[in-house]
Structure 1
Amino acid sequence: MAVSRRTGKIFAWVLAILAVVIAALVVFILTFDWNRARPYINDKVSQAIGRPFAIEGDLKLGWRHPVGETGWRAWVPWPRLSAENITVGNPDWAKQPHFATLDEIDFQIKVLPLLAHDIVIPAINLVNPSIDLERLRDGRNNWTFRIASSAGPSEWKLELHDIQFAKGNIAYADQQKKADMQMVVDMLGQPVPIGDVMKAQEEASRNASAQVVGKQGASRLAKQVAAASAASAASAASAASEPAGVSGASVTAAVSGASVPVTASAQRSAPTYGIGWTLKGTYNATPLSGSGKVGGVLAVQDTTRPFPIQADVRVGDTRIAVVGTVTDPVHLAAIDLRLWLQGVSMAHLYPFTGVTLPDTPPYATEGHLIGQFKPDGGVFKYENFTGRVGGSDLNGSMTYTAQKPRPLLQGVLVSNLLQFKDLAPIIGADSNASKAKRGAAPDQPSGKALPVEEFRTDRWKEIDADVKFTGRRIIKDPGLPITDLYTHVVMKDGALALEPLRFGVAGGTLDSNINLDGSTTPLKARVGSQARHLKLKQLFPTVKTMQSALGEVNGDAALSATGNSPATLAATSNGEVKALITDGTVSRLYMEAAGLNVANVVYEKLFGKRDVKINCAAADFVVTNGVLDSKVFALDTDDAVINMDGNINLKNETMDLNIHPHTKGFRVFSLRSPLYVKGTFKDPHVGVNATALAVRGGAMIGLGLLNPFAALIPLIAPSNNKALPCNDLLTQMRARPDAPPPGQKMKTPRGVDAAASEANGARVQAPSAPAMRMSPASAAQYKGS
């Protein structure tokens, strides 16, 4: 009995002591000035992160009833910690004193999980967080912390459910990227569905497209997108109906722009946006601004659900907008985005994408961007996009592969309706006003026809490319007989090749293989061209007298050059240019006019429409340092023989050609005299050799003084029935042209070929081409058989 009584007293004392201790602890916690612990906390955290850390305001600990707990757990209070004016220091080289500042932080901790070494925090509230991010040119940055390593794994685990904050600020200064930006982030207040964001961004991007390519261009782009969406709607709908892919299907349907019915459960499971942001500053010395939305802060930790992002950013004159999702955003596993692009020139995408694209007119595109990030790079595809470039449409898919030593850009592009003038900026052939609009120096001299704008060969070395482009229908000047275009662009290690560059011309084709080696300075170029089956009447579609002409033009050219612009390449070119016409007819009026047979022209104009047969025609130019000298230029018909000599100078863009007509048959009232073509490419002059004409006129006047009938003698053209040796001439012309290596001149011709000499007439002794060889198959093809 005494033992029991003693045991009861001991137990009572233990309970009493425990109650006193608890009471004392509660009183201590409630009354203790926790600011006394700040030096200890500051020191420990500073040692852990390797940076100065300080709580400069009040540090408090309070108790609150738990929210959402039921039963007896609802009676266990949770501690609530709060701290004010927190700072995290920067390295001594940083411009700003603090890496991060925070006006206040407060959070509650669940008590019972502490017994299992679990720190469970339902939510952290941040007030006015501010972060400064800096990187120097040498690569040092202030966001890499030297965290002190622990002796072993910690027994404690942290579980954070939510982060809430009022307006935050992020500053980013990067000397490597030449970036200086400021971002403001804030909570949206309530979740925003991805479908609503998609709809709003689509409308904003369509309005932006109208500002760049015009309302009509934006309307046509919208129709292109609608047609593409209709084509993919069926497949998207079937994907959305699969139970296993409800969430992903709803996102894919929104990204692709297809109108697909989505179930209520899919809408609830679709990702939502929780944070909004705005951005301003400069990037690569270019003004930058933008806004967007992302998912909740802690949503980035969920690798099983797509993380939503939206951005609408303007960099200089380029605007980029995206809406979609990122899988595992911490590690950037994959992206699935709807992408809109607008800008003055596609070349302006280079500074912030690293993708080398040509100069273009103003453009706007819409498409689907998907990609997979990998440790050694990644693959990204802008698939089934549609766009407007100037007045042309553009459709296709492009794939970007991040690989070593250079990334690779591949794609297939199609333009169903191509404005020929939209190709001019690619080689700098657009107007000075157009150059100024796309940011290029308007340095094209008013008197020069060949573009002087230099190629950006430094960018060619940073990416490889393999792109095929087809222009199915070309809209151009009525006098330009071009119908379609195809080219295969291959760029590797700084060398650019267009093999082939093919135009449909006058019912035939003009095929060129162009190789530009930009890995050297200056650029080295080689060009080979073949003209096949060009119809005479289609070459001059606006000339009525040529519409009855028959026959085909076939030709070849081989040139090499050095220089960094089209003008300098032309000025340094060396090689040969050849052309043939066989088995054709041409208007007699043209032939009579060429010989200035005045009476015959008048008679033909009034009464005659007979065409004359072309026996043969040949042109052979040798090109030396940009100067084209005619070795052979002859046209033989049933009525006349015409020769030409002189040169075309690509350096100063001038012409100095003399045309010598030789009449076949008897002509009365002929002022037959040599013609000339002189002047510049932009201001050519065609006329009659005044000296020869004056001699004939003076002879007419002198004989007229002796006998009026004798005055007709100088106007009478005797017959010159000697035809060209067509077979020999054509055999010689069928030899393929040749070109020396870039930077070298053509070899000196080895004499005068008899056929060329006879073709040019006794008055014109032109040097002939070197010995020429051609296979029978190639000869048959050249002749157009």
Structure 2
Amino acid sequence: MTRGHKICLFGLAGLLALGGAALVFIATFDWNGVRPLINEKVSAALGRPFAINGDLQVLWQREPEQGGWRALVPWPHFSASDLTLGNPDWTQGKTRAAQFASLERVEFRLSPLPLLWHEVVIPQVRLSKPSADLLRLADGRANWVFTLPAKDGSEQPSPWTLSIGEIGFDQGRINLDDQSLKTRLDLQVNTLGKPVPFAELAGKGVGGELAQATQDYVFGWKAQGSYKGLPLEGAGKVGGVLALEDASRPFPLQAEVKIGDTRASVVGTLTDPLNLGALDLRLKLAGNSMANLYPLTGVTLPDTPAYATDGRLQAQLKDPAGARFEYQNFNGKVGESDLHGSLTFINAQPRPKLSGKLTSEQLRMADLGPLIGADSNSAKQARGQTTRQPTDKLLPVEAFRTERWRAMDADVQFSGKRIIHSDKLPISDLQTHLLLEDGLLRLDPLRFGVAGGSLSAQAQLDGGKTPMQSKLQLQMRALKLKQLFPNVQQMQTSYGELNGDANLNGTGNSVATILGGANGDMRLVINDGRISKGLMEIAGLNVGNYVVAKLFGDDDVKINCAVADVGVTKGLAAPRLFAFDTENAIINVEGTANFANEKLDLDVIPHSKGVRLFSLRSPLYVHGTFKNPQAGVHTGPLLARGAGMVALGVVAGPAAGLLALIAPSKSDDNECAPLLAQLKAPAKH
């Protein structure tokens, strides 16, 4: 053996001996002796007291599952017991918890070879009985936010990197006191005893292609407390290991939660749990009103009757355009109506946006009442809302929640294919397109199928202004009288139709205040119908019943034409022309209807066609309120207020405007045309 070979051999033997001595030293070293130093360094780095109060150990063990030569390399296994991390100084006197967090034991193993490249690789960490007391004050300070001590500007960034593969845990506890959200929660986690397969709870269609790779449910959890002032209770199941290194590995979730009157059930997966990457859940929601979801989710939804939905929720929480939530192919009920569709919510800037398409195969008309505050007081109480509608008022006084309209934008299309209604409201279908942008709400179009015809509207409510400004344009076309009054036998032979227009502007935050100060006009034309006391009874118009009985007795009377042109100024509606052309007489209505105080002051004046007993009948009045109208017979002469001169041809302007409404009629012999032509003609002197 040459001299050089001997030197190399002795050098290698020396290195091996030195390495062996180092391993023996590390294996036999009492690591508890360095606990004070570790506690001091970690406390200084975190800016709050840290302590390993129990035993600190390092064991060297091989990892056979690594395979090949790596299985021969011993790995260091670290363990420490009774660890505590304190609170920042500002929490003194503000929390009863002595520590921010504590651990009964932590164990992890360190991959040795990556240390040569300044990489700290920890394949797995196991935590035993973790506990945390979280506190956030009303001013935003939170004890889970670490204010690290300032570094010297001359310090260079550390060349070391840290990578953690998985975090395993057993039973634990989290207590949350969030004063800024008015939320207090106590969460307990315990082992199930026997794992529950993911597919057993999730079923098919949840989790996507990664469902087969999803781990079983290992832990059960329970929570109780309050969220944003609402009582909360819940329970569910989760997996046993958080996969931090492989962000695509799904983590199983299952929960049943009740917050206030809202109940939610979820089952599915969370991927990239460290960064809250994505969700794929089956979500069921139920509650007394969708509007009650706003304080929980920040999503502005309409006031509705009791609802329940079931669908698939997928979320991309790290989307560059903003967290994206898709509630796909859900089915549900709102009141007694069904609801189906898909919705997308993007938490974008400057405002989040909700978009989607909804359909209802069978829509109950009464379920639409809460949208405009027109539902009953008992229905509001059932939804847990304060009763606001006065018993003596007909127009809804419930205020629109315009303060929520600027919280998000919306673009939602809705189609109600079949409408369930009473015989008094022959509506067949509904279509609307809702657009909400920076507080400006538009329904364009809002279209109903009514009595074989259509009712179309364009509504605009500007909730960004105080008080709210509103515009409404409405068109009624070709409403068939025999379908409008299906229970009136005499009307079934009629070919008559109803056509009308309305154009109103107003300000205010409720239907009552908007109409109470509205300006605009309304026009209506009806041809070829019949009127009777029985018809008024069917329509539920008790005052109309009285008026018709006084004018015509109990007989049916043919209406050749009925026309109305009503101007509205600051909530006061006054007819420029309001006339019924019957086979016996022309009946005029004049006076006012005040939307501000809901008072009526109307006169019904008959003008006989020829010498008949009918001409002896006295003019009538309708007074009282919208809710409680009262009718009677005038005992003295009337002062003409304008419309009473209809027979003299002094209403040319209103008549000309109403002639345009005859054009949509499919009847070739519309009997309103001669009357309006006569009224349009210049007055004879």
- TM-score normalised by structure 1 residue count: 0.72
Shift, 1:382, TM fit = 1.6
Q: Secondary structure at the match of 1:430?
A: coil
Shift, 1:410, TM fit = 1.3
Identity of paired residues, percent?
Answer: 48
Q: Secondary structure at the match of 1:143?
A: coil
Shift, 1:775, TM fit = 12
In the alignment, residue 492 of structure 1 is paired with which amino acid?
A: E
Q: Does 1:283 align with 2:227?
A: yes
Q: Which moved more, 1:511-520 or 1:287-296?
A: 287-296
- Distance (Å, rounded) in 2 between the aligned partners of 1:74 and 1:358: 62
* Alignment CA distance shift 1:180-1:545 (3 Å): same
Alignment of 1:440-519 (within 5 A): 440-519=385-464
- Distance (Å, rounded) in 2 between the aligned partners of 1:175 and 1:669: 77
Note the alpha carbon deviations across 1:453-485, whole angstroms, 9 max, x for none: 111000001111111111111111212222222
- Distance (Å, rounded) in 2 between the aligned partners of 1:468 and 1:595: 43
Aligned counterpart in structure 1 of residue 274 of structure 2, from 319, 330, 336: 330
Alignment of 1:350-749 (within 5 A): 350-372=294-316, 373-582=318-527, 584-586=528-530, 612=558, 614=560, 616-668=561-613, 672-689=617-634
In the alignment, residue 50 of structure 1 is paired with which amino acid?
A: G
Aligned counterpart in structure 2 of residue 304 of structure 1, from 248, 254, 272: 248
1:36 maps to what in 2? 33
1:173 maps to what in 2? 177
1:780 maps to what in 2? 663
Greater radius of gyration (CA):
1
- Distance (Å, rounded) in 2 between the aligned partners of 1:772 and 1:558: 17
Note the alpha carbon deviations across 1:421-448, whole angstroms, 9 max, x for none: 0011111111112112223211211111
- Distance (Å, rounded) in 2 between the aligned partners of 1:66 and 1:594: 98
Note the alpha carbon deviations across 1:44-93, whole angstroms, 9 max, x for none: 21223332211223434567787869999999876654433211122222
Kept in 1, the 8 Å contact 2:565–2:658? The answer is: no
- Distance (Å, rounded) in 2 between the aligned partners of 1:90 and 1:575: 65
Alignment of 1:22-33 (within 5 A): 30=28
Q: Secondary structure at the match of 1:460?
A: helix
Note the alpha carbon deviations across 1:715-741, whole angstroms, 9 max, x for none: xxxxxxxxxxxxxxxxxxxxxxxxxxx
The structure carrying a bigger strand percent of its residues is 2
Kept in 1, the 8 Å contact 2:525–2:658? The answer is: no
Alignment of 1:65-76 (within 5 A): none
Q: Secondary structure at the match of 2:371?
A: helix
2:189 maps to what in 1? 185
Q: Secondary structure at the match of 2:89?
A: coil
* Alignment CA distance shift 1:255-1:628 (3 Å): farther
Q: Does 1:98 align with 2:99?
A: yes
Q: Which moved more, 1:331-340 or 1:159-168?
A: 159-168
Shift, 1:513, TM fit = 1.5
- Distance (Å, rounded) in 1 between the aligned partners of 2:293 and 2:52: 45
- Distance (Å, rounded) in 2 between the aligned partners of 1:757 and 1:298: 84
2:679 maps to what in 1? none
In the alignment, residue 646 of structure 2 is paired with which amino acid?
A: A
- Distance (Å, rounded) in 2 between the aligned partners of 1:447 and 1:379: 47
Shift, 1:317, TM fit = 0.8
1:194 maps to what in 2? 198
Kept in 2, the 8 Å contact 1:576–1:621? The answer is: yes
Shift, 1:100, TM fit = 1.2
Kept in 2, the 8 Å contact 1:632–1:760? The answer is: no
Shift, 1:541, TM fit = 2.9
Shift, 1:518, TM fit = 0.8
Kept in 2, the 8 Å contact 1:301–1:330? The answer is: no
Q: Secondary structure at the match of 2:44?
A: helix
Aligned counterpart in structure 2 of residue 272 of structure 1, from 204, 213, 216: 216
- Distance (Å, rounded) in 2 between the aligned partners of 1:128 and 1:531: 69
Q: Does 1:54 align with 2:51?
A: yes
Kept in 2, the 8 Å contact 1:255–1:323? The answer is: no
* Alignment CA distance shift 1:671-1:162 (3 Å): same
Shift, 1:519, TM fit = 0.8
Kept in 2, the 8 Å contact 1:394–1:415? The answer is: yes
Kept in 2, the 8 Å contact 1:381–1:400? The answer is: yes
- Distance (Å, rounded) in 1 between the aligned partners of 2:198 and 2:240: 13
Shift, 1:636, TM fit = 1.7
Q: Secondary structure at the match of 2:339?
A: strand
* Alignment CA distance shift 1:173-1:770 (3 Å): farther
- TM-score normalised by structure 2 residue count: 0.82
1:725 maps to what in 2? none
- Distance (Å, rounded) in 1 between the aligned partners of 2:132 and 2:494: 77
In the alignment, residue 507 of structure 1 is paired with which amino acid?
A: G
Kept in 1, the 8 Å contact 2:559–2:580? The answer is: no
In the alignment, residue 442 of structure 1 is paired with which amino acid?
A: T
In the alignment, residue 259 of structure 2 is paired with which amino acid?
A: V
Q: Secondary structure at the match of 1:461?
A: helix
- Distance (Å, rounded) in 2 between the aligned partners of 1:781 and 1:417: 30
In the alignment, residue 454 of structure 1 is paired with which amino acid?
A: A
In the alignment, residue 166 of structure 1 is paired with which amino acid?
A: D
1:729 maps to what in 2? none
* Alignment CA distance shift 1:69-1:637 (3 Å): closer
- Distance (Å, rounded) in 1 between the aligned partners of 2:225 and 2:182: 11
* Alignment CA distance shift 1:585-1:151 (3 Å): closer
* Alignment CA distance shift 1:123-1:656 (3 Å): same
Shift, 1:415, TM fit = 1.0
In the alignment, residue 564 of structure 1 is paired with which amino acid?
A: N
Note the alpha carbon deviations across 1:132-187, whole angstroms, 9 max, x for none: 333344443333335677745446x7665654433111223333333222222234
- Distance (Å, rounded) in 2 between the aligned partners of 1:268 and 1:595: 74
Q: Secondary structure at the match of 1:172?
A: strand
- Distance (Å, rounded) in 1 between the aligned partners of 2:667 and 2:444: 22
- Distance (Å, rounded) in 2 between the aligned partners of 1:776 and 1:544: 29
Shift, 1:369, TM fit = 2.0
Q: Which moved more, 1:627-636 or 1:373-382?
A: 373-382
1:126 maps to what in 2? 127
2:674 maps to what in 1? none
Aligned counterpart in structure 1 of residue 646 of structure 2, from 759, 764, 767: 759
- Distance (Å, rounded) in 2 between the aligned partners of 1:53 and 1:628: 77
Q: Does 1:143 align with 2:30?
A: no
Q: Secondary structure at the match of 1:377?
A: coil
- Distance (Å, rounded) in 2 between the aligned partners of 1:595 and 1:47: 92
Q: Does 1:87 align with 2:88?
A: no
- Distance (Å, rounded) in 1 between the aligned partners of 2:322 and 2:238: 24
* Alignment CA distance shift 1:18-1:775 (3 Å): same
- Distance (Å, rounded) in 2 between the aligned partners of 1:589 and 1:116: 97
In the alignment, residue 99 of structure 2 is paired with which amino acid?
A: H
Q: Secondary structure at the match of 2:237?
A: strand
Note the alpha carbon deviations across 1:184-209, whole angstroms, 9 max, x for none: 2234455533211225xxxxxxxxxx
Shift, 1:358, TM fit = 0.5
Shift, 1:97, TM fit = 4.2
- Distance (Å, rounded) in 2 between the aligned partners of 1:293 and 1:350: 26
Kept in 2, the 8 Å contact 1:631–1:769? The answer is: no
Aligned residues: 644
Alignment of 1:8-19 (within 5 A): none
